Structure 1
Amino acid sequence: MLDDFLLQFFDDQPRRATSLYLLLTGKKTLSVLFAALEHQQLQWLHLYPTLSRPDFQAAIARLQAAHHLEKTDLGMILGGPKAQPANLPTAYQPWMGVHTFSPKFHLAVQMLSEASFHNARYRPVTQDWAIQQQLRQWWQHIDRQTAISELKTLLEVIGDESATVLLSTMIGHDFVGAGQVDDISQIQALAQLIAQLDAGLASSWQALWGGRKALGTKTQYAALQMIQQGATREQVSQRLRLKPSTINEHLLTAAIFGADLPLARLYPATMLTQLNQADAHLNYQPLLEQVPDSDFFQIRLFQILCLQGRWPHGQA
């Protein structure tokens, strides 16, 4: 049930409902990602891309009416004990591209199944022309029996329970499953399978998956690369013809996703000393006041790295 699913994302730390909705549906703004980092929920980025805003808002309203959630000035908090986990898909990671791989995976299974029975007349599980084109290209470069054998191995590796769940979604010759993954157990099963592809298993299916998905944009990576190569934020702004605020957001987003930034060139030594003595749990405005001459970028980066355990405390 949607209500139980959403409830487990709240605790006694205020959480803005809209920010949670945007996280689950895949919005990657700095504010959404930073809030997710604060609540240790970054893993769930793009977990539920089909969740409609009206359904989400109705569920939040029901939880409030039942006093399971309480509204504060800073966001929603639990109105009672912490909810028990509703079997979140622990194998899931945003870089897997679970929801973009799903239609390709199901069409590939259907093609292999129908080909095994020499049937060329069937309705494809997806009508997306671009996906069909990708699968035609994939089909030309694989050995069908190898792909079938690899799929059997993948299902064995992920275990009987997950394999059964995944099989229930498949469509093939004289067999009609769901044709997609749309609940937690199905997402978990497909994520487990993708984890095996990421580990190097099943080359045919690796080719179909295409590897880890970039979480940032090309412009974000360009800005990060320039900074890492010695450019200043101002120089990056000029070279990419973007506002300084946009460059700051690109770099902070990259940091949230784990990128290393050259702190010695982004902070004067005296500021590093001041930040080492500051409380990273404060909101950024009090920190700005505590650290003279600092800007939002420097304070937010400090907070991000502290939350990740990557701030070099004691070094200046």
Structure 2
Amino acid sequence: MNHRTSNLIKFIKLGKPHLTLGLFFYFSIGALIAILLHAQFDMGKFLLGWVIIFLSGWAVHYHNDYFDFETDHYTQPTPISGGSGVLIEHPEWRGLSISMAFILMGLAIALSVAFTVIYSYSLNFILFVIMGNILAWFYAAPPVKLSYRGLGEFGNTAIGFLFPAMGYFSLMGTLNLPFFIFVIPILFLQMLFTGSVEIPDMEGDKKGGKKTWIVSWGRGFGFKLIAISGLLVTLSFLIIPLTNLFPSIINFQILAAISLIPLSLGIIGLIKSPLDKASATKLCIYNLISIMVASIMINFYFIYVLSIPVIS
């Protein structure tokens, strides 16, 4: 491998595109629930909507690593947390990193304008994309710096809203009450994710000046947060049918059963509550795998429901 190719691979690694690709299943959950609520599937809308949110999510890692440059000197990257470590190795790439973030965000917003024109959507679609990028930007960027003021968890958990919302909005053309109700358990699932990615970085974040909830209250609190979030995912799925906003063909008890996967691991983590980084990180990796598995299973369940013939 020549030097130029090696550097290109490192620069792509800096953006952690694999993490954003993993969020596809949140996006597709939103799209599938829209179809179950009688939105028409349109491959063009689906693919363009995904490209827009993917570019926005990809940009996050470039500007986060730029603004977290000092803090990342204190953290050791793990498979699920910490910076990429690329800017620590190549500090001369900082300017290139922030430029890449601007390019990706600009492309996302430009494509949202094109989407709105092509499909005659309201300007709310463009505003949604812009606001999502602004929220992600200020996760680490001054003057707001959410992650340094004890508010980063809200920014991170918002991913559980933004990605499903984009899938839903792309096909439905709006965000309405059924979506806002349905996304509640996904938000709790993302809170479980947030606790899991913060736990490994506790020491480094503290030295770097970040005020995450884990820095403030410790790993034990983090495992409690994860278990409670998992429980709230399951309870939410059990309560949602009481709203009568969703077709009876959707069996929310099945969704609740699927959610027992991350809940079970959350309970195991709560029982063990390891305080050392290595053991805690191992459990958190399992948590993230369980979230991915649950998300994929929800997708497959919705696809199965859509395949059931409608009896007229």
Task: Indicate the TM-score class for this superposition, using the shorter chain for normalisation.
Answer: under 0.3
Write 1 or 2 for the structure with the bigger share of helix. 2
If you compute each CA radius of gyration, which structure gives the higher value, 1 or 2?
1
- If the length of structure 2 is used for normalisation, what is the TM-score? 0.24
Higher relative contact order (CA 8 A, sep 6+): 2
